[in-house]
Amino acid sequence: MNVLWFTNIALPEYTRANGNFQALKSSGGWMVGLLDAVRRFAPDVRLSVAFRTPTPGFTQVDGVDYYGLGDSADGAFLERVEQCVRTARPDVIHIHGAEAMAQVLPDALLASGKVVLSLQGIMEEVAKSYLGGLTWADMKPFENIVRRLFRRPNEQQIAAAWKTQRAPRERELCRRISAFMGRTRFDRDWIRRVNPAAAYFHVDEILRPEFYQGRAWAAEPGRHVIYAGAAFTYPLKGGHWLLRALKIVKESYPDVELRVAASRRCALSNWKDRVSLGAYGYYLVHLIDELGLRDHVTFLPALSAQEVRNELMHANVYCLASTMENSPNSLCEAQMTGTPAVATRVGGVEDLVTDGETGFVVPPRDPDALAEAILKIFQMGPKQAEKMTDGAYKAAARRHDPKNIVHDLLAAYRAVEGKK
């Protein structure tokens, strides 16, 4: 079977082969894990992968053909897409996410009958919650004048673009496509409303390889550390609600520390950080000072997967405070590490966490409930914590088993291939 993937980012094998790893800002994330699993468990699949790149290119690595399609603003982009499809001769075309690449592909390809699209975040729902319960009036006093001078979009403009451009396009293209992969009741119910006639296949995601090393939670007794994942400077992720919860937790645990990945810009340690941080980032910095949390928040740089695992290993609790998610991999990575988790009841989160058994699920935009759940974990005895984290780890290990996921993936591919 020939399968062509369209992905939102260039994968590392391509960028390394083209000597431009940093310029293309490639990470790969869970896509690398899926690629490796397909190689291992489905050797009969002939895989090609295509994505946008600054300039067109092609390379082959370990039997996988990589197509750099160039810039989608280039007048020849659609021609290169068509040439890629002709060369790859796919039986199935798998588009990973509706957020980016899918929005620039030709409608004829989307409606070809050989396409299956993996649902990631649902842009229509993201647009409703992008500002995280704040208003632009809350953030506007902190707007970065340098960003405005260079006409960089502010949070209000980004939210409007999601609502008026990206979300309608997502709905339109999802009506053209006849098959979808998802992994939560939330995305399944959404696609059934948008396209009732479409086929839906449940296919879970493979996590980054570093999170298959076994349960390894080793938080130091007596410390009180909360770890929050990346994207803290996006209001959707609810950083402001987490900070308000942190203030409450601090009243009982004065030594509490919040460690936030990929947030170093908030430290404002150099001029680049100062000119690049958006209004919401400056709002968070102001809120930290207002709440007296300056000595309780540690801003970390962007972390490798192994560094994330190390942070999770030594945190007492992982916290997801988002106002919208579908199936957040950061939460799943915490579970695979064995770290106790608190998450908000949004999107598909309840498919991942059983409240009170494998973690705690709380209402979004509720810092009191968030703080209460964090305090419960801090106050747990060793046996209770062991029971909770063991249950979460076992559930996550089943959910993210690479062999089972490839089995489900191939079943979806065969169904799509048979429909043509």
Residue 61: which CATH number? 3.40.50.2000
Averaged pLDDT, 139-157: 90
pLDDT value at 169 more than 70: yes
Range scoring the smallest mean pLDDT among 14-28, 84-98, 130-144, 228-242: 14-28
**Assigned domain for 152 exists:** no
Q: How much is the average pLDDT of 196-213?
A: 96
* Average pLDDT for 219-234: 90
Element (H, E) at 344: strand 341-344
| Domain presence at residue 149 | no
267 vs 202 pLDDT, higher one? 202
Q: What burial class does residue 137 get, using C-beta atoms within 10 Å of its C-beta: 0-12 exposed, 13-18 middle, 19+ buried?
A: exposed
Indicate the pTM of the whole model: 0.93
Residue 336 lies in a domain: yes
| Residue 138, in any domain of the structure | no
Judge if 49 and 174 occupy the same domain.
Answer: yes
| 274 within domain boundaries | yes
**Do 180 and 218 fall within a single domain?**
no
What's the CA angle centered on 382, arms 320 and 341, to 5 degrees?
10
What CA–CA distance (Å, rounded) separates 171 from 259? 37
Give the structural domain span for 360: 210-399
Residues 6+ apart with CB under 8 A from 292: 247, 250
Mean residue pLDDT of the chain comes to 93
3-state helix, strand, coil in the chain (%, to 5): 50, 15, 35
Q: Are residue 309 and residue 186 in the same domain, yes or no?
A: no
Residue 302 resides in a domain = yes
Q: Is the pLDDT of residue 249 over 70?
A: yes
pLDDT at 419: 66
Residue 23 — very low, low, confident or very high, per pLDDT cuts 50/70/90? very low
The yes-or-no verdict on residue 22 having pLDDT over 80 is no
Q: Do the domain assignments include residue 144?
A: no
Nearest to 358 by CA among 370, 373, 346, 347: 373
**pLDDT reported for residue 380:** 93
Angle in degrees, CA 256, 389, 407, rounded to 5: 130
Res 393 pLDDT > 60: yes
Contact 70, 76 (CB under 8 A): yes
79/98 same-domain check: yes
Are 166 and 45 within one domain?
Answer: yes
Minimum mean pLDDT range among 123-132, 142-151, 406-415: 142-151
> What is the tens place of the pLDDT at every residue in 93-140?
999 999 889 999 998 999 899 999 999 989 999 999 999 999 999 999
Q: What is the mean pLDDT of residues 278-299?
A: 96
Share of the chain above pLDDT 90, in %: 81
- For residue 150, give Cα distances in angstroms to 23, 184, 277: 21, 40, 13
3 state SS of 167: helix
Distance, C-alpha 335 to centroid of its chain: 15
For β-strands 179-182 and 115-118, DSSP reports them as parallel
Note the pLDDT tens digit of each residue in 353-372: 999 999 999 999 999 999 99
Other residues' Cβ atoms within 10 Å of the Cβ of residue 169: 16
Let me know whether 191 and 327 are in one domain: no
What single-letter amino acid sits at 348?
A: G
Average pLDDT over residues 384-407: 95
Q: Is 39 among the domain residues?
A: yes
Average pLDDT over residues 254-262: 95
Q: Could you please report the per-residue DSSP string of 348-382? A: TGGGT--BTTTBEEE-TT-HHHHHHHHHHHHT--H
**In a 3-state reduction of DSSP, which class is residue 42?**
coil
What is the pLDDT averaged over residues 226-231?
A: 89
Span between the terminal Cα atoms of the chain, in Å? 14
Same domain, 279 and 292: yes
The mean pLDDT value for 160-173 works out to 93
Residues 218 and 97 in one domain: no
Asked whether residue 225 falls in the same domain as residue 110, the answer is no
CB 405 within 8 Å of CB 201 = no
Let me know whether 393 and 314 are in one domain: yes
Q: Given strand 115-118, what is the order of strands in its sheet?
A: 56-61, 64-69, 46-51, 2-6, 92-96, 115-118, 179-182, 199-202
Q: What gap in Å lies between CA 134 and CA 122, rounded to an integer?
A: 20
User: In this predicted structure, what is the pLDDT of residue 150?
Assistant: 82
For residue 91, CA distances in Å to 56, 79, 110 come to 24, 20, 14
Q: Do residues 238 and 190 both lie within one domain?
A: no
Residue 115's nearest CA partner among 4, 35, 2, 1 is: 4
Domain total in the chain: 2
| pLDDT higher at 382 or 81 | 81
Q: Which residue has the tokens 């609502």?
A: 163
In this structure, the answer to whether residues 186 and 217 fall within a common structural domain is no
